[in-house]
Amino acid sequence: MSSNTYPLSGIVVIEIGGSLAAPFAGQILGDLGAEVIKVERAQGDDARKWGPPYTAFPSANRNKKSVVLDLRKNSDRESLRRLVSERADVVLQNLRPGHLDEIGMGAEYFRDLKPGLVFCNLGAFGKDGPFARRPGYDPLMQAFAGIMSVVGEEGRPPVRVGPSIVDLGTGMWAVIGILCALMRKRETGVGATVDVSLLETAITWMMGYVSRYSATGEVAKPMGTGQAGIAPYQAYAASDGRYLIVAAGNDSLFQKLCGVLGQSQWATDARFVSNGDRFANRQELNDLIATEIKKETMEHWLTAIDAVGVPCAPVNNVKEMLESEQTKALDIIRTIPGGGEIEHVMLPLSFDGTRPGGRTGPPTLGQHTSEVLAEPTKVG
């Protein structure tokens, strides 16, 4: 593996916290070559106990070293102080909002101690406002930001997006902020305090709905697999019970879809001539398309619709996705040394055609405490 594949080699990150958002950010930084030292309490990251199966922790904590410190003890707070002041380029933390400030070890303390430090607070509801000190998890933010209100089908109870998109997204924003701060430090020698939060990420994911509400005053409702403002743009059931997403997002694509479905006359039907017409009459249009799709298997339509250049895709489950030749060709799913029996999802990016790999599996609790605390001061 080329050293260029690990652009953060030489960067030391101290990760303090647990669950998913901050560990995911730490894992990204570790995958990119940073040395990530994960500071855990004696009980360990809560994610170690999520299960069975106990796969939550391994999926977000490869390429890290685990150090156990009890920050209620003066001696362990001193160990953290030394670790940060002598070795760290970055501190990433998502403890209960305000906790590190309460024990005198927040961003201000460490930035005064080490002006070049990049300190990233990953919070719940954000650093300001009446909810600033509240803890929070992914489903709370999906609820508060309105994500649940637009997921699922109209007339049914609210539905949470299955993947933890708020946790994972906030981890990504943390990494973006950290990398920007490191770039600025390279020019100025001065670090930064980066603040990200679950709620801000969740609100950001709602940007399309926000702009639509601003323009129309209409509160969005859930549309199943559909998309506001575009039709046809949803999943249809085939004869074998499998579903196919069809995304005919412009007039030309719609005309091609009509042809392959054997219904060319739809393209000149006054109800469906333009996208605006199609969206206004989407229920009638979707019923017509559903009737045609139901006549053949999903694979039949996938092949036929793709052949005329209309975007489409099967609605896969996890097994089907993993077994797809496309997924296999990307080499994004791998087993890694010390990573246990589970398969790991690598970073969704490559450098000069090479995807960074998992160098080490997730650490056992406290595995590196003695090693890390005994290491010499970082030079530079």
- In which element (H, E) is residue 236 found? strand 233-237
Point out the catalytic residue in the list 128, 167, 251, 287: 167
Cβ–Cβ under 8 Å, residues 12 and 368: no
Alpha-carbon gap, residue 353 to 78, rounded angstroms: 43
Cβ–Cβ under 8 Å, residues 373 and 79: yes
Alpha-carbon gap, residue 371 to 375, rounded angstroms: 6
Concerning whether 195 is annotated as a catalytic residue, the answer is: no
Closest CA to 178 of 190, 165, 195, 164: 195
Bridge partners of residue 245, in order along the sequence: 235, 313
> Which residues lie below 8 Å from residue 291, measured CB to CB, with a gap of 6+?
none
> Which residues lie below 8 Å from residue 64, measured CB to CB, with a gap of 6+?
15, 26, 27, 30, 36, 37, 38, 360, 362, 363
Provide the terminal-to-terminal Cα distance of the chain, rounded to the nearest Å. Answer: 26
The neighbour count for residue 366, using CB atoms within 10 Å, is: 15
Catalytic residues: 167
